[in-house]
Structures are given as C-alpha cells and as structure tokens.
Amino acid sequence: MAVNTLTIDGKEIAIEAGKTILDAAKEAGVPIPTLCHMEGVHDVGACRLCIVEAEGTPKLLPACVTAATEGMVIHTQTEKLQNYRRMTVELIFAEGNHVCSICVANGNCELQDVAVDVGMDHSRFSYRFPDRGCDLSHSQFGIDHNRCIMCTRCVRVCDEVEGAHVWDVGSRGPDCFIVAGLDQPWGEVDACTSCGKCVDACPTGAIFHKGETTGEKEGDRGKMAFLTTAREKQEWTR
C-alpha cells in the first residue's frame, strides 16, 4: 500500500495514497469544519468550509476534495481561514431564511454548530429574504426550501445509497433549488421509496418528518456510513 507523508498543523501524518486532506486531518485528530461532507457518500466541495492553506500555493484548498500528497505542509486554523469560514457561514445565513427559533432542527442543526465553531453571532451582509416555498405533498415527510443550504447531501445519498435518484438540483446561480423528480411535488414521485435517508442526511431542518415541531428533529449522522458498508461486511445492526 502506497503511503504519503504530510504535515498538518505541525503534526506529521502518514496516510494511504488517494486519501484527502480531510481524511488525513481526521487521522491526526485535527478538527476542520464541514457542512456538505458526509461519511458514506462522495464529496463535492460545495460549502467551502473545509478550506485549508498549503505552503507553496496561494490558493485556499477544499480539504474534502483535495488529495493529500507527499510533503504537503497544511495549516487549518490560521486567522485568514477563520475569517473566510466565518464569512461563508454569514453568507449562508443571509442567503436563505434561517429562523432558528421556529425550526424543527433547532438545537440539533449542523449549521448552528458550525456558526458557533467559527464565532459567527451576526451577519454583516444584507439578508436576501428569498421567496421560497415548502412541499408537504409527501405522506410522511416535508421539505422547506427556506432552510436549504444546497449542500446536496440529500441528492447524493438518494443516488448512491438508496439508488432511487429522486432528488436533483434545478435552475442556476442564486436561484438553484432542490427538485424532486422532474420538478414534481415530492408526493407524486413514484421513484421515492419513503426510506427517509434524505431526512437523516439533511444537516438543517430543510427535510423533516411530518409532525415534528420546533427542536424535535434528531439526525442520525452515522447512518449513511454504516449503510454503505453493511452489505459488504454483512453487518445489519449497529
């Protein structure tokens, strides 16, 4: 097995070739904030919260999709990175309609957790207050587009774990939104198996079980990683 050796925040780490900087940081116990990353599905580098600095390049690199190569010297907690991460979270809040006090995921929301981690207590940017709707046509679940951060975790878990291909991204730029089927009401998409994996994958309160009220949504963040290896390992219970 080929191994690469690199340094992250002063720690020398040996990691299997082909692994990412984020994988290496986890091996070393170095925390890097993420939102679009989820164990069990491939990474897309959508949220840009996991950016790091690498000596020898002026670019900030997304750790989740950048391969860890031999001799890299990585910094994860510089003042520049902290400022960029805080600004990214501020933009996420300003771009959507995130009213935590009435959200089903209040107190159990990855966006909230990241905001605390990066020290974001207000947004310096003007709120857009976009006109977004909710789809409650499904018998068991609902999606509130006001809370969506376009991490695409629901899209990837539905494609790669469930294999139903219900979700996709529609439109372009700031008008992007998550669509079910061919932009149909969710409840009319025959491909949906009602498995609920998209609910578990959602880092905010955008996709939820019907009947949940403020603060009642609890995500199972390890479920997808378990499911992706369950068949291979013949492990059906956790």
pLDDT number for residue 168: 97
208-233 per-position pLDDT tens digit: 999 999 999 987 777 777 877 776 77
Domain 3-77, CATH: 3.10.20.740
List every span in the chain annotated with CATH 3.10.20.740. 3-77
The CATH number of the structural domain formed by 84-233 is: 3.30.70.20
Per-residue pLDDT at 142: 98
Residues of the chain with CATH 3.30.70.20: 84-233
What pLDDT shows up at residue 232?
A: 72
Contacts 24+ apart (CB under 8 A), 18-21: 18/67, 19/67, 19/68, 20/63, 20/64, 20/65, 20/66, 20/67, 20/68, 21/52, 21/61, 21/63, 21/64, 21/66, 21/67, 21/68, 21/72, 21/74
138-177 pLDDT per residue, tens: 999 999 999 999 999 999 999 999 999 999 999 998 899 9
Give 28 or 219, the one with higher predicted confidence: 28
pLDDT tens for each residue of 45-61: 999 999 999 999 999 99
